[in-house]
Amino acid sequence: MRSMTGFGRASLHGSDRHIEVEVRSVNNRFLKIQMRVGRHLAAMESRIESLIKERISRGTVSLVLRVEDDALPSGHRLDRALATRLHDEAKLLAQELGEDSTPSLADILKLPGVVVPSDSVDELPQVLLDDLEASVRDAVDALVTMRTDEGSRLSKELKSITARIAVVVAQIKDRAPQLVVEYRDKLRQRLTKLLADLPGHGTLDESTLMREVAIMADRSDISEEIQRLESHLHQFDALTDEDVVGRRLDFLVQEMLRETNTIGSKASDAEVSGWVVEIKSELERLREQAQNVE
């Protein structure tokens, strides 16, 4: 299990080259990559994005790349072929129109596409590209290491929450059979008192009483909800030992909340209602922590 928050840094220093990479990540339901690499290295963005996607699947990842190197392009380059072609065509057009003037070099340089930003990866030395990629990999590795360490802490916290929930679920499970018995006894007392107040003092039909109790027991039966809730808790604990599980954990929390709400609505008992509130409170903590998981 890995957290979605973390930070990584890598640097490379040489006599003629200095590279520094910083990458950090925060929570996000999806993977969002933000980069600041400088205009000269803009063509590297797609490669950097691929390197990040190889290691990370969720979170907002922000990367800053700083490079000082004499091999970096100065900023612009001249498209000599285009400049020559435009000059020749302009000169030919002037002859056809009977004009003596020819375009100046300054005029040619102002035309679109003649002078363009020099940001092509092809123009960078391979050794620089290799150093850049290695530095990015090292920074991302450091980020993943921190996310993994934080994930271990999160795993322990999540398991402690599910353990507390399991204790309360066990209490509800033990209490459930008593609810039917208590309902039967209370119903018997009410009916007996009602019959005693009637003229002729009728007798209680035991079969009718048990039929009503059976109907109530069927309507308020929470055994299936308890069983599913226990199953979800076991699945949740098992997932905390795997890698990319954030979305599945979130789904299980929603399922556990649904089962808990059903238990609360079925069991008309003050003690069970209190336990349901306790479980929902723990599930909210579980949800908040699970949202940090990749």
The residue ranking higher by pLDDT, 37 or 189, is 37
Tokens 């040619």, located at residue = 108
Give the pairing type, strands 17-26 and 6-13. Answer: antiparallel
State residue 117's pLDDT score: 59
* pLDDT at 195 exceeding the cut of 70: no
State residue 100's pLDDT score: 75
Give the Cα separation of 31 and 19 in Å (integer).
25
Contact present, 17 and 131 (Cβ < 8 Å):
yes
Contact present, 64 and 21 (Cβ < 8 Å):
yes
pTM for the model: 0.70
DSSP secondary-structure letter at 220? Answer: T
222: three-class secondary structure by DSSP: coil
* pLDDT at 279 exceeding the cut of 80: yes
CA nearest 11: which of 23, 26, 1? 23
CA nearest 110: which of 75, 74, 86, 129? 86
* DSSP sequence for 179-210: HHHHHHHHHHHHHHHHHHHSTT-PPP-HHHHH
Give the Cα separation of 210 and 205 in Å (integer).
9
The residue ranking higher by pLDDT, 29 or 112, is 29
166 is written with which tokens? 């399991």
* pLDDT at 142 exceeding the cut of 60: yes
Domains defined for the chain, CATH in brackets: 6-73+123-149 (3.30.230), 76-117 (no CATH), 150-290 (no CATH)
- Quickly count helices (H) and strands (E) in the chain: 8, 6
Tens of pLDDT, residue by residue over 62-94, are: 999 998 875 555 556 667 788 888 888 888 888
Q: Lowest-pLDDT range, 18-22, 102-106, 231-235?
A: 102-106
DSSP secondary-structure letter at 292? Answer: T
Virtual torsion, Cα 200, 204, 207, 211, nearest 10 deg: 110
End-to-end CA distance of the chain: 7
Tokens 């309507």, located at residue = 219
* pLDDT at 45 exceeding the cut of 70: yes
Contact present, 30 and 56 (Cβ < 8 Å):
no
Give the pairing type, strands 115-117 and 76-78. Answer: antiparallel
Residue/partner pairs of 263-270 with CB below 8 Å, 24 or more apart: 263/172, 263/222, 263/225, 263/226, 263/229, 266/219, 266/220, 266/221, 266/222, 266/225, 267/172, 267/176, 267/179, 267/220, 267/222, 268/220, 269/175, 269/179
